[in-house]
Structure 1
């Protein structure tokens, strides 16, 4: 259902949009780092997108529609934005992603202690910004570069509530037909927003809340 445009709700709080799905952070021995967003529920429906940072530092966004590309571009920082089909298929532990010049396959392993702990967090609690604010300190201490709240582009704010964590144990990836090499840590950290993904490649189930900026309207159609 479409929302009417409004900069603030009755309580003076800017509109908040919620995304539920998975984020996979992957490093390769070539130095290219990849962040996949695989969203089952969002204001834009189900979709996937890919952020790529090359060894040169160039940051790419591969997004499936102009509307989604614009929303992500206004939240994070990129040098190049491409709108093209992004297909992500998950069969158990096996993931396969086709996104224009990127062909990506990876496999997740068994949960570790942190994954088991996150699985115990109720979904309703993980989706609350107050919970993300509470976990920001421990996330910084345990997972270098990871933040669970922060300020994004265009005056937006974001909160991340993790609900599961699985290590990535194998990967094959090619960009523009060039093999990106073996699975490697996400090093250096990616620079799309205020925080990075875990250094150890992983897929994280997550609820992301985005508060729009002061002068923003709710995107049409959301």
Structure 2
């Protein structure tokens, strides 16, 4: 078995238009530094925006999509305040609020423990109850297993942008939960600092 670790942050937001978006920003990964975007439209169509064939193949083998687009995905970061996400089909600006109670609790756990698959296995039953749709371990596509080790959590308080030239409207909860894999982003729009371990 091989294990790979992806270190970064995940933003999950819903919008007035019904489009739900999950952006992963991965400064450290086996595939190098990259960002990718998972979009589920109001009618349930799931789209992956990936910056390279290598990233697209890896992500699409792990999660479920109806279509995959190879697009340059750029995330400009104002630390602790704002992300500006740009690709040929997506324009997304999100503004962050304060660290949540969950974020404060996560920061009390030593990072080496919080990132370990054993800890993710232990916290999975709690995550299922406390955060609707969220799992910290599970089975992914292609016989893979995954663990999500969260180390921080902040609220998203504002959103603007468009997808395929259609305005997204304002910020809404991430409901219904996107159907990309065994776990979903929290219903409350947020950014989570995370280490994702993938085993295959």
1:165 is aligned to: 153
* Whole-angstrom CA distance in 1 between matches of 2:169 and 2:89: 16
Task: Map residues 26-37 of structure 1 onto 2, 5 A cutoff.
Answer: 26-37=13-24
Which residues of 2 match residues 166-205 of structure 1 at below 5 A? Answer: 166-205=154-193
Structure 2's unaligned 5+ residue stretches are none
Deviations 1:105-124 (A, max 9, x none): 00110112111111122221
Runs ≥4 in structure 1, deviation > 3 angstroms? none
Gaps of 5+ in 1: 1-13, 213-222
* Distance in 2 of aligned mates of 1:19 and 1:121: 19
Greater shift in the superposed pair: 36-45 or 118-127: 118-127
Query: 1:3-25: CA deviations, max 9, x gaps?
Result: xxxxxxxxxxx100000000111
Residue in 1 aligned with 2:37?
A: 50
CA RMSD of aligned residues (A): 0.7
Q: Quote the offset at 1:58 in angstroms.
A: 0.5
Alignment match, 1:67: 54
Counterpart residue number, 2:74: 87
What is residue 115 of structure 1 aligned with on the other side? 103
Give the CA deviation at 1:125. 1.1
Return the alpha-carbon distance in structure 1 between the equivalents of residues 140 and 84 of structure 2.
Answer: 29
What is the total number of aligned residue pairs between the two structures? 199
TM-score normalised to the size of structure 2?
0.98
The match for 1:145 is: 133
When normalised by structure 1's length, the TM-score is: 0.88
Please state whether the residue corresponding to 1:181 is helix, strand or coil.
coil
SS in 1 for 2:99: coil
Q: Which moved more, 1:112-121 or 1:145-154?
A: 112-121
Q: Which has the larger radius of gyration?
A: 1
